Structure 1
Amino acid sequence: MTVRRDGHEEVRARLREAAGAYEPDRARMLARVERGMAGSAGRGAARPPVRGWVRVAGATAAVAGVLAAGGCTVAAVLRDPGPAHRTVAVPPAPMPAATPAPTASAPASPAAAPTGGGTAGPPPSAIPTPAAPVSPTGSARPPAAGRVEDGPLWSDGSVDPHSNAFWAQSNVTLKTAEPLTALTVRLRIARTPGVTSTGAWRSLPEDDFALSVDVRDGFLEYTWTLEEGRTVPAGTWVFAGQYDHARGGRDAGDDSYAATAATGTGSLSVAGDFAPRADGTD
């Protein structure tokens, strides 16, 4: 392939040189035309002169045609063959992947499209319906018996926050604005499964009170009685009973407490339970 291309280049170079050196001899060619015309006139003088001029014109046209043909030939030889003579291997074009036929999309749900320029509302099944009021766990209720406050004496019952799944402590809190000359506090714990006493304490001096723990009528009872001649000063005091119970949460809804006291002006009594009250306390 390289040898053949070099040969073509050499031929084209020589033709270019020959074409550049070629100069047509117009005078010589015209002289030959005139000689031909003179000879024709001597041999056929009887012919009309018009035909002689026709021959001159034909000869001139023939010469011009020869010159034009020669120039076209040289130009064709000198023309660069270009990339048309080259053979290029082209890999076959890959077949286009089959395009899946479009699937029709599901029409929009009528409930999702607003009509008449309005805003689409929820489907009928999603419209909320008012639920029946549910009573919260441990709803407020009045004390089991009596009242939680009497004059200068106020009371409250609560399950200690340190209680756990096996053990609990119930607290009776008394707040007095005056000294008490007599006081008896009774704590009643319903005997739910596993309830047994594990102890009791109070924030006042131990020697000032007598303590008894009894089981009576399905309740575990703790009773603190102020000793004769002792006084409870004004302030806030706690009386607590401790007990085991079955594993898990224990319902203190049936537990209760009661206290009776005396001041220099009269007797007082308070009572309550261990359910949450309206003021947020137990």
Structure 2
Amino acid sequence: MDDVRKRLRDAAAEHRPDRERMLARVERGMERDAAPGAPSRGRPPRPAPWLRIAGATAAVAGVLALGGYAVASVVHGDEPSRTVGTPAAPEPPAATRPLAPDAKGVEDGYLWSDGSVDPKSNDFWAQSTLTFKTGKPLTALTVELRVAQTGGVADTGNWRSLPAGDFTVSVREAGGEAGGDLVYRWTLKAGRTVPAGKHVFAGQYNHAEGGRDAGDDTYAAEATASGRKAAVRGDFARTS
């Protein structure tokens, strides 16, 4: 089946429908039907030539579009959708810069934080949970969780207690290479706010069999409330 899809993709890429030639053939056929003296055989009057030409143009366009859709549907199969010819956008520098490098600890003014490994984690899977408390509504917030690559660490999902639509989420491997630390980042969208109170962010991942030590994992956050910025940074308890 993969070989069939490849051949269809190659054929679709090489195919260039001659729209003008198809339209000209349709129009010539109409002109023959409209020739003077042609018997009507009881048929109703034909529409004006310009209407027939417009209809032919639409018909040809429809055939071309339908053909392209049919090929695309067969080629697509179970493969993920993609935009042909559009290169992937480079990751913005803001997504890779160190977050809150000057943070002094887990608390800064109105912002408090904590990092822990969920007790339901097991020998193959774990969840790192970040808890934040803010005494003021936040107009800006970026949260980052960095899970050290201790062997077999691979993303399986993430969530937050705040509305999903309020955040842009990215998950990447540090350095852009397989086998690097797993980095989760949640960024509050412009114009959205985080209410005062307690909020949770969590990253989930598989790991090599056995108890995983989270001692090298870290987290950080930057926030703004009433024009004042706050930054926190922390880590996780090391397994003895």
1:24-63 map, 5 Å: none
CA–CA separation in structure 2 for the residues paired with 1:146 and 1:271: 7
Other structure's SS at 2:208 match: coil
Q: Which runs of 5+ in 1 are unaligned?
A: 1-143, 277-282
Q: Cα–Cα, structure 1 residues 145 and 263, in superposed 2: closer, same or farther, change >3 Å?
A: closer
1:258 counterpart (220, 223, 235): 220
Q: Cα–Cα, structure 1 residues 145 and 192, in superposed 2: closer, same or farther, change >3 Å?
A: farther
Structure 1 segments, 4+ long, off by >4 Å, are none
> How much does 1:146 deviate?
2.9
2:170, 2:185 within 8 Å by CA — same for their partners in 1?
yes
2:103, 2:231 within 8 Å by CA — same for their partners in 1?
no
1:192 counterpart (144, 150, 160): 150
> How much does 1:145 deviate?
6.1
- The equivalent of 1:154 in structure 2 is 112
Q: Give CA-to-partner distance per residue, 1:38-66, whole Å, 9 cap, x none.
A: xxxxxxxxxxxxxxxxxxxxxxxxxxxxx
> How much does 1:214 deviate?
0.4
Other structure's SS at 2:226 match: coil
Q: Does 1:228 align with 2:190?
A: yes
Q: Does 1:167 align with 2:125?
A: yes
Query: Percent of aligned positions with the same letter in both sequences?
Result: 65
Q: Give CA-to-partner distance per residue, 1:152-200, whole Å, 9 cap, x none.
A: 1000000001101110000111000100000000000001111100000
Partner AA of 1:226 in structure 2: L
Q: Does 1:177 align with 2:139?
A: no
CA–CA separation in structure 2 for the residues paired with 1:213 and 1:268: 23
CA–CA separation in structure 1 for the residues paired with 2:222 and 2:104: 11
1:173, 1:239 within 8 Å by CA — same for their partners in 2?
yes
- The equivalent of 2:207 in structure 1 is 245
Partner AA of 2:131 in structure 1: T
2:146, 2:183 within 8 Å by CA — same for their partners in 1?
yes
CA–CA separation in structure 2 for the residues paired with 1:161 and 1:226: 28
Q: Does 1:206 align with 2:168?
A: no
- The equivalent of 1:55 in structure 2 is none
CA–CA separation in structure 2 for the residues paired with 1:198 and 1:146: 31
CA–CA separation in structure 2 for the residues paired with 1:239 and 1:265: 23
1:271 counterpart (225, 233, 236): 233
CA–CA separation in structure 2 for the residues paired with 1:181 and 1:209: 12
Q: Compute the TM-score of the two structures, normalised by the length of structure 1.
A: 0.46
Q: Which runs of 5+ in 2 are unaligned?
A: 1-101
- Number of corresponding residues: 133
1:145, 1:272 within 8 Å by CA — same for their partners in 2?
no
Alpha-carbon RMSD: 1.4
Relative contact order higher in (CA < 8 Å, ≥ 6 apart): 2
Query: Which protein has the larger Cα radius of gyration, Structure 1 or Structure 2?
Result: 1
1:92-171 map, 5 Å: 146-171=104-129
> How much does 1:275 deviate?
1.6
Larger strand fraction of residues: 2
> How much does 1:215 deviate?
0.2
Other structure's SS at 1:207 match: helix
Other structure's SS at 1:186 match: strand
Other structure's SS at 2:165 match: helix
- The equivalent of 2:181 in structure 1 is 219
